[in-house]
Chain A
Amino acid sequence: MLILKKFAQDKSAVIGFAIVVAVVFIAVFGPWLAPYPQDATMSHLTRRLRPPSWAFPFGTDNLGRDILSRVILGARGALKVSLLVVGASMAIGVPLGLAAGYSRGWLSEAIMRVTDVFLALPQLILALALAQLMGPSLESAMIALVATYWPFFTRIVYAETRRLRASLFVDALEGLGASPTRIVFLHILPNAASPIIVRATIGLGFTILVAATLGFLGMGATPPDPDWGLAISQSRTFLPGAWWYATFPGLAILVTVLGFNLLGDGLRDIMDPRLRRSR
Chain B
Amino acid sequence: MLRFIARRTLLAVPSLLGLLIITFVMIRLVPADPAAALAGDNATPEQVAQIRAQYGLDQPLPVQFLKYLSDVARFDFGDSVYSSRPVAIDIVQRLPATLELTFAALFLATALGIPLGVVAALNHNRWPDFVLRIVSIGGVALATFWIAIMFQLLFAMKLDWLPLRGRSSVGISFAGGPTGFLMLDALLKGRLDVFWDAFRHLVLPALTLSLGGIATITRFTRAGVLDTMQKDFVTYERAVGYPHRRLVWVYVLRNSVVASVTQIGLLFGSLIAGAVVVESIFDWPGLGSYTVNAILTADFKVMLAVTLLVGVIYAAVNILTDIVHGLIDPRLRDQA
Interface residues of A (CB under 8 A from B): 11-12, 113-114, 116-118, 120-126, 128-130, 132-134, 205, 209, 212-213, 216-219, 229, 232-233, 235-236, 239-240, 243, 246-247, 249-250, 253-254, 257-258, 261-262, 265, 277-279
Residues on B with beta carbons closer than 8 Å to the beta carbon of A123: 273
* Given the contacts A124-B273, A213-B145, A232-B145, A133 and B37 also touching, CB distance less than 8 Å: yes
The one of A117, A209, A240 that contacts B19, using a Cβ cutoff of 8 Å:
A117
Q: CA A54 – CA B125 in complex, angstroms?
A: 41
- Residues 115-148 of B, flagged 1 when their CB comes within 8 A of A and 0 if not, give 0000000001100001001100110111111110
9 A-B pairs with the lowest CB-CB distances in the bound complex, closest first: A117-B18, A250-B146, A240-B157, A257-B141, A124-B273, A122-B310, A258-B141, A133-B30, A216-B145
The one of A11, A121, A205, A278 that contacts B22, using a Cβ cutoff of 8 Å:
A121
> Distance (Å) between the CB of A276 and the closest chain B CB?
9
Does B226 have its Cβ within 8 Å of any Cβ on chain A?
yes
The one of A12, A128, A233, A249 that contacts B137, using a Cβ cutoff of 8 Å:
A12
Q: Is the CB of A279 within 8 A of B230?
A: yes
Residues on A with beta carbons closer than 8 Å to the beta carbon of B152: 239
Apart from A278-B124, A279-B230: 9 A-B pairs, beta carbons within 8 A? A116-B18, A124-B276, A126-B307, A239-B152, A246-B146, A246-B153, A250-B146, A254-B141, A254-B142
> Distance (Å) between the CB of A252 and the closest chain B CB?
10
Q: Is the CB of A217 within 8 A of B149?
A: no
Q: CA A217 – CA B144 in complex, angstroms?
A: 12
- Chain B residue nearest in CB terms to A264: B137
Q: Is the CB of B146 within 8 A of A125?
A: no
The one of B15, B26, B138, B310 that contacts A133, using a Cβ cutoff of 8 Å:
B26
Q: Is the CB of B146 within 8 A of A232?
A: yes
Write 19 A-B pairs (CB below 8 A) sorted by A numbering.
A12-B133, A120-B18, A120-B318, A121-B307, A124-B273, A130-B26, A132-B295, A133-B30, A216-B143, A217-B145, A254-B138, A254-B142, A258-B141, A261-B137, A262-B137, A265-B137, A277-B223, A278-B226, A279-B226
Does B315 have its Cβ within 8 Å of any Cβ on chain A?
yes
- Residues 36-59 of B, flagged 1 when their CB comes within 8 A of A and 0 if not, give 010000000000000000000000
Q: Is the CB of B22 within 8 A of A254?
A: no
> Distance (Å) between the CB of A74 and the closest chain B CB?
13
Q: Is the CB of A217 within 8 A of B292?
A: yes
Residues on B with beta carbons closer than 8 Å to the beta carbon of A217: 145, 277, 280, 292, 295-296
> Which residues of chain B from 254 to 278 have any CB-CB distance to chain A below 8 Å in the complex?
269, 272-274, 276-277
- Chain B residue nearest in CB terms to A122: B310
Q: Is the CB of B226 within 8 A of A229?
A: no
Q: Is the CB of A205 within 8 A of B143?
A: no
Q: Is the CB of B30 within 8 A of A120?
A: no
* Given the contacts A122-B273, A130-B30, A213 and B19 also touching, CB distance less than 8 Å: no
Residues on A with beta carbons closer than 8 Å to the beta carbon of B137: 12, 258, 261-262, 265
Residues on A with beta carbons closer than 8 Å to the beta carbon of B14: 113
Residues on A with beta carbons closer than 8 Å to the beta carbon of B150: 246-247, 250
- Chain B residue nearest in CB terms to A265: B137
Residues on B with beta carbons closer than 8 Å to the beta carbon of A236: 149
Q: CA A240 – CA B158 in complex, angstroms?
A: 7
> Which residues of chain B from 299 to 336 have any CB-CB distance to chain A below 8 Å in the complex?
300, 303, 306-307, 310-311, 314-315, 318
Q: CA A16 – CA B152 in complex, angstroms?
A: 29
Q: Is the CB of A125 within 8 A of B142?
A: no
Q: CA A202 – CA B296 in complex, angstroms?
A: 29
The one of B22, B222, B269, B296 that contacts A117, using a Cβ cutoff of 8 Å:
B22
Interface magnitude class on chain B:
35 or more
Q: Is the CB of A122 within 8 A of B272?
A: yes
Q: CA A277 – CA B19 in complex, angstroms?
A: 34
Residues on A with beta carbons closer than 8 Å to the beta carbon of B230: 279
Q: CA A118 – CA B141 in complex, angstroms?
A: 23
- Chain A residue nearest in CB terms to B125: A278
Q: CA A261 – CA B30 in complex, angstroms?
A: 34
Q: Is the CB of B153 within 8 A of A240?
A: yes
- Residues 214-243 of B, flagged 1 when their CB comes within 8 A of A and 0 if not, give 000001001100110010000000000000
Residues on A with beta carbons closer than 8 Å to the beta carbon of B303: 125, 128-129, 132
- Chain B residue nearest in CB terms to A133: B30
- Chain A residue nearest in CB terms to B19: A117
Q: Is the CB of B125 within 8 A of A125?
A: no
Q: Is the CB of A254 within 8 A of B146?
A: yes
The one of B134, B149, B222, B277 that contacts A213, using a Cβ cutoff of 8 Å:
B277
> Distance (Å) between the CB of B28 and the closest chain A CB?
11
> Distance (Å) between the CB of B267 and the closest chain A CB?
13
Q: Pick from A132, A229, A279 the residue with the most CB of B within 10 Å.
A: A132
Residues on A with beta carbons closer than 8 Å to the beta carbon of B30: 130, 133-134
Residues on B with beta carbons closer than 8 Å to the beta carbon of A249: 146
Q: CA A123 – CA B143 in complex, angstroms?
A: 15
